[in-house]
A and B are shown apart, each in its own frame.
Chain A
């Protein structure tokens, strides 16, 4: 079983749509959770951290369910510029993890006019 699993998509949605991505992780000792975004032929960049209480940043909402080991990202009112690959990322705490990011395989989103 992969450490972090995502539905690879692709998701093709019209502008203005709401789209949700899901992610599951296998290690219950995971402590930090993120969504990164990667544009085509570019490096990954942090989109947002994910907290247990859930958090929102403009049109983006992230949720964490530790009991189910599940992370989600909701994008409202999709824009053309949201087209990218969205990467679910998990970090184990302590030991020799030293901030080692474990990535899901990414979910491809294409927003069309």
Chain B
């Protein structure tokens, strides 16, 4: 069974469109994250949710809206897509309040905005 699964794996869309990426984890973790990996391969946190509550919002444009319907799911909706949004988006989960806890990542969603 896949521990953290995100869909779709690839997403190609035009500028101005709205799209969503879904993420689910079956590890029983209380904390989920969205990370963005840009063309220089740098991984940067976007959002973190703990028990469905938004904990971290790293100055991400408000075109990006995360939603956590329950502890096991964290979806990312993006409005009015721009060329600069092209990147790989990784969902992850962990026991957020435990030190030295391992984070598990989904396989990534490669978003290309044309």
Report A's interface with B, CB cutoff 8 A. Answer: 31-32, 34, 38, 41-46, 49, 85, 87, 91, 93, 96-103, 105-106
Chain A residues touching B, majority SS: strand
Q: Which of B48, B50, B105 contacts A45 (CB 8 A)?
A: B105
Q: Which of B44, B96, B107, B108 contacts A99 (CB 8 A)?
A: B96
Name which of B40, B103, B108 has the most chain A CB atoms within 10 A of its CB: B103
Q: In residues 85-109 of chain B, which contact A (Cβ within 8 Å)?
A: 90, 92, 94-103, 105-108
Name which of A41, A43, A100 has the most chain B CB atoms within 10 A of its CB: A43
Q: How many A-B pairs with Cβ below 8 Å?
A: 64
Whether the Cβ atoms of A98 and B55 lie closer than 8 Å is: yes
B31 touches A (CB below 8 Å):
yes
A98-B48, A98-B56, A100-B56 known; A105 and B101 CB under 8 Å? no
